[in-house]
């Protein structure tokens, strides 16, 4: 096979830095950005990248965090909130667009959630993929949601008042009992994470429990958009995002979207190389982004994609880190 030049995404550090400086002129504190592409996710490795951005900075009175993400790992959200709260007296979440699932959990750690006209949070009920999960038509393990399973059992119990029967006898034909237990455990974890994150600024235990229950169980769809009035209604300290800051953040999102565009080089019908940027974290003078760098091969025997020549890593622009805070390099887990 002839060598082929791989596509590479643009890194727009100078342009993003210009916008960050402009945004900081309109807020009374420091700005930090946390942005995921559609293929990126909130994960534990981002906590290390976040620490690298923050460890050289002095504690500030107000820290504003721009969050744009489709979600990821709620446990990583708790770790991020814990880290962020050590670097400020008051934490503000800036939400101009989507802030979903685990990203909603991250926003829960802020004293104030500033939401623009296009902004929305979502429910945080958990989906898991277990080794014993059933498989779909593409031979991939199926993700099972806590809320979905709870609703199946609830509907069965409603019907059983007339017809009787044990729902688990039927459910276990399709979902392994260990998976059912794992889903229940994941639901308990999600509720606990929400309450622990809220505890950083919300002393009322009953209010924390009410918000957690609402976000985990009260919405008919995981992606149900919780806009500003609804966020207020469930008890969150949500306020309108300043119009000027909102437009600047949307401009910043456009630059990040250009950096995070799909960047695949097709080699043949069964092979391609991926150079996509998934996650971007940035403050004034420094930017860290996670870039995929790997080959992907479609294995026809079991109809699955496998990765080879994995060189994906976090990369840094601007201020360099000290040797004790080297840029982490690790494979990102799937959402």
What pLDDT is attached to residue 222?
79
Q: pTM, whole model, 2 decimals?
A: 0.83
Query: What is the pLDDT of the chain when averaged over all its residues?
Result: 84
Residue 303: pLDDT band with limits 50, 70, 90? confident
For 221-262, write each residue's pLDDT tens digit.
Answer: 878 999 999 999 999 999 999 999 999 999 999 999 999 988
Over pLDDT 90: what percentage of the chain?
A: 56
Lowest mean pLDDT segment, chosen from 120-124, 263-267, 284-288, 325-329:
325-329
Domains of the chain by start residue, with CATH: 13-123+219-325 (3.90.226), 127-182 (no CATH)
* CB-count exposure of residue 201 (10 Å: 0-12, 13-18, 19+): middle
pLDDT above 70 for 146 = no
Sequence-separated (6 or more) residues with CB below 8 Å from residue 198: 108, 109, 207, 208, 211, 212
| Per-residue pLDDT reduced to its tens digit, 184-221 | 555 567 888 999 999 999 999 999 999 999 998 888 78
pLDDT at 130: 53
pLDDT at residue 181 is higher than 70: no
Q: Is 37 exposed, middle or buried (0-12, 13-18, 19+ CB in 10 A)?
A: buried
Of 239 and 157, more confident: 239
Question: Which one is predicted more confidently, 167 or 145?
Answer: 167
Confidence of residue 325 (pLDDT cuts 50, 70, 90): very low
Q: Tell me: pLDDT of 3 over 60.
A: no
Task: Name the pLDDT band for 332 (thresholds 50, 70, 90).
Answer: very low
Angle formed by the axes of helices 146-163 and 177-198, to 10°?
120
Q: Are strands 294-299 and 30-36 parallel, antiparallel or unpaired?
A: unpaired
């Amino acid at each position: 096979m002839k060598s082929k030049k791989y596509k590479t995404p643009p890194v727009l550090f100078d342009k993003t830095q210009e916008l960050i400086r402009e945004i900081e002129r309109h807020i009374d504190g420091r700005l930090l950005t946390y942005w995921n592409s559609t293929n990126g996710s909130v994960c534990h490795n981002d906590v290390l990248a976040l620490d690298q951005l923050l460890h050289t900075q002095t504690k500030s009175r107000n820290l504003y965090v721009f969050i744009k993400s489709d979600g990821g790992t709620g446990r990583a959200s708790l770790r991020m909130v814990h880290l962020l709260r050590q670097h400020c007296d008051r934490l503000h979440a800036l939400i101009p667009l989507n802030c979903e699932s685990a990203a909603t959990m991250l926003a829960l750690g802020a004293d104030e959630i500033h939401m623009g006209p296009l902004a929305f949070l979502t429910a945080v009920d958990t989906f898991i993929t277990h080794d014993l999960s059933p498989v779909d038509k593409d031979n991939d393990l199926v993700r099972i949601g806590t809320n979905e399973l709870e609703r199946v059992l609830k509907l069965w119990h409603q019907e059983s008042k007339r017809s009787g029967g044990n729902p688990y006898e039927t459910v276990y034909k399709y979902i392994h009992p260990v998976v059912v237990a794992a889903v229940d455990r994941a639901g308990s974890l999600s509720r606990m994470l929400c309450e622990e994150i809220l505890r950083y600024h919300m002393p009322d235990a009953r209010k924390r429990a009410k918000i957690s229950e609402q976000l985990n169980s009260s919405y008919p769809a995981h992606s149900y958009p919780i806009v500003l009035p609804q966020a207020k209604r469930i008890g969150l300290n949500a306020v309108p995002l300043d119009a000027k800051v909102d437009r600047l953040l949307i401009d910043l999102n456009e630059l990040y979207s250009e950096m995070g565009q799909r960047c695949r080089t097709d080699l043949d019908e069964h092979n391609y190389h991926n150079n996509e940027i998934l996650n971007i974290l940035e403050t004034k003078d420094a930017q860290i982004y996670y870039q995929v760098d790997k080959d992907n091969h479609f294995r026809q025997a079991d109809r699955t994609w496998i990765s080879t020549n994995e060189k994906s890593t976090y990369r840094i622009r601007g201020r360099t880190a000290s040797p004790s805070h080297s840029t982490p390099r690790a494979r990102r887990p799937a959402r």
